[in-house]
Structure 1
Amino acid sequence: MNGQNFKKKVDQLWRELTTAVDQINRSNNEIVMRAEEILMETDSSIRQLKDILRQYKFPDWSEEIYFFKNTKPKFVSIYIYYSKVLSIEASKPYADPEALRSYYENERAQLLYFYNEQRDFISYYRRKSSYLDKKYFVRFKFDFKLKLSPELYSYDEEFSTSHDHIVSQIMANDLLDQYLTDKIDSKDSKENSFENSKNLEWTAPKVALVELLYALHQTKCFNGGHSDLAEIFRWAENSLNINLGNYHKTLSEIRLRKTERTKFLSLLQHNFDQYLNDLDF
């Protein structure tokens, strides 16, 4: 397998996983059931990722480092995140809102242990440093003078480096911190913060919004290009109080257009150009 095919297969696997996760989260099932279903999907994806890697040999260290510093942790972080969400939600007490808030605050406080335990590496990772990448993200390069995960002895050495799992934990815990923060914040305080804002309603066709959101995603307009497509669509649906349905199917319909495929984007450009021209007179 060459590098282009390897990347294509990994990217396709990631798209399939994020699509599956998004569809599961759109269901009306309780979070415990959704988390269980997502864990099964993610486990399958990670196993497939492992099989793909077995068929490929990295041509140099830089590509191997990128895979174990960026690619694999994306997949594993989803598994870790939903494992923790499942544990938290399945164990939460049936109690009044104040007691539940205390429960979530306690869970959030436990994240501090991980951040304190791994603070040196977290600093290295968040600063996007690279001078130790060969030690951290190349297989068979474990340096026992470094601070290693206690579970390292059981790792698959063909599919693991000394620190890729810690990157996965950082990504998962960042998501979990936001999840718990949302649980802790009272519904009333959220409603009050928006009570004076005017609700906006999307009145153009839904397909137009899908076209726009895909274009914004491809142009890396959100979070420096690090936002998932599903995350962008959830934000738009929540902000505009709209259900865009199966937007992947809508994209397929856009692709099948006989004439101009980006009709809405062309309309936006035309109207804005016309507006600027009118201002010139």
Structure 2
Amino acid sequence: IFEDPEFRTTRDHLASEIVANDLLTKYYTSALELLKNKNAKPTIQEVQNACCTIIPWTGTPTELIELLLSLNAKGAIADGNLSIKEIEEICINNYGVYPGNTYQIVEQIKARKSNSTKFIEKLKISLIKWLSEN
């Protein structure tokens, strides 16, 4: 352009950008193929989160509801802000237990005459026994 100003056209700059773009696309495509070939076998294995696995609950659904209600009442989970519906979802998602009508179970726990927290009492006795044996 500096030696012969008449040689340049108004479209030369546009044509050079198109050619450069094509060359750059070819370069990135080949670089991407190289990376895909190198990473055909991933070196990092996916680790499954422990909270995603269901912990088998072997007690009754009512016992699970009683336990979760007590933890919620103490503020030990979610600062005590779980609703009964959220407690039901915990039962289903984490323990694989569908408790049925959770509101009815809660009412049954409230209506117990002699011992409204019988499962919690059983837990206390079992823990004391375990601690003394171990």
Fold similarity call, TM over 0.5: yes
Give the superposition deviation at 1:221: 1.5
Q: Go from structure 1 to structure 2 and tell me whether the alpha carbon gap of 1:199 and 1:232 turns closer, same or farther (over 3 Å shift).
A: closer
The residue number in structure 2 matching 1:240 is 95
Bigger share in helix: 1
Count of residue pairs the alignment pairs up: 88
The residue number in structure 2 matching 1:223 is 78
The residue number in structure 1 matching 2:124 is 269
Distance 2:66 2:106 in 1: 7
Give the superposition deviation at 1:247: 1.3
Q: Go from structure 1 to structure 2 and tell me whether the alpha carbon gap of 1:260 and 1:240 turns closer, same or farther (over 3 Å shift).
A: same
The residue number in structure 2 matching 1:207 is 62
Query: Which of residues 104, 121, 128 in structure 2 aligns to 1:249?
Result: 104
- The aligned amino acid for 2:66 is E
TM-score by length of 2: 0.55
**Does the 8 A contact of 2:61 with 2:99 survive in 1?**
yes
Structure 2 segments unaligned to the other structure (5+ residues): 1-46
TM-score by length of 1: 0.28
State how 1:163-182 maps to structure 2 within 5 Å: none
- The aligned amino acid for 1:266 is E
Structure 1 segments unaligned to the other structure (5+ residues): 1-191
Deviation track 1:58-101 (CA, whole Å, cap 9, x = no partner) reads xxxxxxxxxxxxxxxxxxxxxxxxxxxxxxxxxxxxxxxxxxxx
Name the SS of the counterpart of 1:193 in structure 2: coil
Distance 1:210 1:259 in 2: 19
Instruction: Using CA pairs under 8 Å that are at least 6 residues apart, name the structure with larger relative contact order, 1 or 2.
Output: 2
Give the superposition deviation at 1:232: 2.9
Give the superposition deviation at 1:228: 3.0
**Does the 8 A contact of 1:211 with 1:264 survive in 2?**
yes
CA RMSD of the aligned region, Å?
2.5
Distance 1:267 1:278 in 2: 17
Q: Which has the larger radius of gyration?
A: 2
Fraction of identical pairs, as percent: 24
